[in-house]
């Protein structure tokens, strides 16, 4: 069962029981039917007397009441939770608890196979401990299958609950990368500016002026020149960065190359920007457009990844259509869009943000190695069409960066934007 981003299963911790007759009841009814047939065939009404108790047991199995099952999961610290976050490849240990009502007897509980997750460990305890190891990032509703019997033992019941959502964050390698390049804010950060002020970056040496602090005096230069000189420094300011991405749909348990690139690049850019003191926000376009306000808190990275992986996250705000609300992108913010540029709505949204005055960067995450590889003519036409789209975006001031081959994100953003095609290759 694939339970990734394409399927937005909600949490269900309580469910009704689906009952069916127990195997013994089915066998008794079959025998009773044979006895009735024999009584009619051989004209022996006394055989019906032997069949009556069997029919009574079948009737008793139908009066099962309205039993319900409640399941919940606790983490390693025995805290009840509905969402557990981890990094792909990281094992997570959870404890499955089940309680029943109306006298139903619990026979068995287990977690069915989940596509993309390895589960091990089912000890015979009141609280069963299960270890889940995800192999790929995504959003995985964790199901719990419960099997029961009624108080008489004449009926068997089953219930399927989803008491837990497992949010698996992508594992990323630390790489020095930045997407900031627009106007900086008057807030302390790590990006040097061209303005003079108080900072750590050397800017110039100038004569002493009234109001300068004594700590700014450059004593070596003062001794050489014979006049009081001070060291001018450039202050480090912060930026606002808004990442924009299409909902990565995962089918068959394995995301496409473009979806995997987009998610990992979003995580890498978000973490690098937050560590530089920048504020980072997120806009997700697709079936359920949503956005997360910019922030620089310690938990902002978790909020960004939760908004990307889970469309039902309460911290995110939704909006209709493709027109991004103005308050979702602060003034002077840099917009970094990661997309295959296959959807015209995404291109229109990027163009609209550029018209509002934001510095807009588009990273094309298309897999060039797979598209049209079998037919050179098709590949040539595709590249020409993509080059025309690049020129249209650059005509309105949007920087476009293709992502060829297996290049890393710093190499992609550090290259020159592509705007033309020569011999079938972007230059």
In terms of phi and psi (left: phi > 0; alpha: psi -120 to 50; beta: otherwise), the region of 74 is beta
pLDDT in tens, 227-253: 898 888 766 667 889 999 988 755 445
- Name residue 339's beta-bridge partners: 364
What's the helix, strand, coil split of the chain in %, to 5? 25, 35, 40
Q: Which long-range contacts (CB under 8 A, 24 or more apart) does 48-56 make?
A: 54/28, 54/29, 55/29
Contact by Cβ (8 Å): 282, 336: no
Measured from the Cβ of residue 312, the count of other Cβ atoms closer than 10 Å reads 14
**279-285 vs 240-246, strand pairing mode:** parallel
Could you tell me which of 72, 226, 63 has the C-alpha nearest to residue 154? 63
pLDDT at site 419: 47
Q: Select, from the ranges 115-119, 165-169, 173-177, 313-317, the one with the highest average predicted confidence (pLDDT).
A: 165-169
* SS3 call for 232: strand
Question: Band of the pLDDT at 416, cuts 50, 70, 90?
Answer: low
pLDDT in tens, 313-322: 888 888 988 7
* Number of continuous H segments (helices) and E segments (strands) in the chain: 8, 24
Question: Band of the pLDDT at 3, cuts 50, 70, 90?
Answer: very low
Give me the mean pLDDT over the 301-312 stretch: 89
- Separation in Å, CA 321 to CA 31, 284, 285, 328: 63, 12, 9, 14
Report residue 410: phi and psi, to 5°. -60, -35
Q: Which two tokens stand for residue 396?
A: 């309105």
Could you tell me which of 307, 297, 298 has the C-alpha nearest to residue 328? 307
């Amino acid at each position: 069962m694939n339970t990734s981003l394409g399927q937005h299963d909600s949490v269900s911790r309580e469910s009704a029981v689906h009952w069916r007759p127990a195997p013994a009841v089915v066998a008794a009814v079959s025998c009773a039917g044979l006895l009735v047939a024999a009584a009619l065939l051989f004209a022996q009404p006394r055989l019906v007397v032997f069949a009556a108790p069997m029919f009574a047991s079948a009737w008793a199995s139908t009066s099962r009441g309205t039993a319900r099952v409640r399941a919940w999961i606790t983490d390693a610290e025995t805290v009840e939770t509905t969402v557990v976050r981890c990094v792909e490849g990281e094992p997570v240990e959870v404890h499955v608890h089940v309680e029943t009502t109306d006298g139903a007897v619990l026979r068995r509980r287990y977690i069915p196979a989940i596509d993309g997750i390895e589960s091990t460990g089912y000890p015979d305890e009141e609280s069963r401990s299960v270890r889940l190891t995800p192999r790929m990032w995504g959003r995985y509703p964790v199901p719990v299958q419960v099997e029961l019997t009624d108080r008489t033992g004449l009926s068997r019941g089953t219930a399927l609950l989803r008491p837990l959502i497992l949010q698996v964050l992508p594992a990323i390698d630390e790489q020095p990368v930045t997407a900031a390049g627009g106007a900086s804010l008057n807030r302390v950060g790590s990006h040097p500016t061209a303005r003079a002020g108080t900072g750590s970056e050397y800017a110039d040496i100038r004569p002493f002026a009234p109001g300068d602090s004594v700590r700014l005096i450059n004593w070596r230069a003062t001794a050489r020149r014979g006049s009081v000189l001070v060291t001018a420094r450039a202050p480090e300011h912060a930026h606002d960065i808004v990442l924009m991405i299409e909902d990565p749909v995962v089918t068959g348990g394995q995301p496409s190359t473009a979806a995997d690139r987009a998610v990992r690049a979003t995580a890498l850019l978000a973490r690098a920007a937050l560590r530089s003191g920048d504020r980072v926000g997120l806009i997700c376009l697709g079936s359920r457009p949503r956005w997360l306000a910019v922030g620089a808190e310690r938990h902002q990275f978790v909020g960004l990844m939760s908004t990307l992986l889970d469309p039902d996250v309460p911290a995110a705000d939704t909006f209709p259509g493709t027109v991004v609300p103005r308050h979702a992108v602060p003034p002077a913010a840099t917009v970094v869009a990661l997309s295959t540029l296959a959807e015209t709505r995404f291109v229109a949204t990027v163009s609209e943000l550029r018209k509002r005055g934001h510095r807009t960067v588009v990273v094309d995450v298309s897999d060039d190695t797979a598209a049209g590889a079998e037919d050179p003519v098709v590949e040539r036409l595709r590249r020409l069409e993509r080059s025309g789209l690049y020129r249209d975006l650059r005509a309105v001031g949007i920087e476009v960066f293709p992502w060829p081959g297996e290049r890393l994100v710093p190499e992609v953003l550090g290259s020159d934007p592509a705007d033309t095609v020569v011999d079938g290759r972007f230059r």
